[in-house]
Amino acid sequence: MASRVKAAAASQVASSDDPGSLLAAVNAQLLHETDTLDLVSAAYVFFDPGRDRLRFAIAAHPAFLMQTGTAHVGPVPARRGPLLGMVSEA
């Protein structure tokens, strides 16, 4: 399953720098390719160093942790979508 998700993501990277769109396309590809119920959580991060910009999308994956200041580490607030391979609206 991991290799299928990696291949699906790699096929989408060139056409989208939007993490949510990429995960939606991976989800659609997984739903199209199999008749079995294979589910996976995922997170995709896009970092643009030229703009000093970080964007991400999460599909039922645990929250990211971020350190602020010198000591505080906490979860990054984010809306999580459903598992990939579960529903077509992901």
Owning domain of residue 55:
2-75
Residue 7 vs residues 2, 4, 27, 82: alpha-carbon distances, Å: 9, 5, 12, 20
The predicted-structure confidence for 35-86, as pLDDT tens digits, reads as follows 677 788 888 888 888 998 888 999 998 888 888 777 789 888 888 889 888 8
**Cα-to-chain-centroid distance, residue 52:** 20
- Is 13 inside a domain boundary? yes
- Please give the tally of structural domains in the chain: 1
Alpha-carbon distance of 28 to 42, in angstroms, equals: 14
Instruction: Indicate whether this model's pTM tops 0.95.
Output: no
Selected residue with higher pLDDT from 86 and 2: 86
| pLDDT for 77 | 84
- Is 85 inside a domain boundary? no
The predicted-structure confidence for 5-44, as pLDDT tens digits, reads as follows 777 777 777 677 788 888 888 888 888 876 677 788 888 8
- Is 81 inside a domain boundary? no
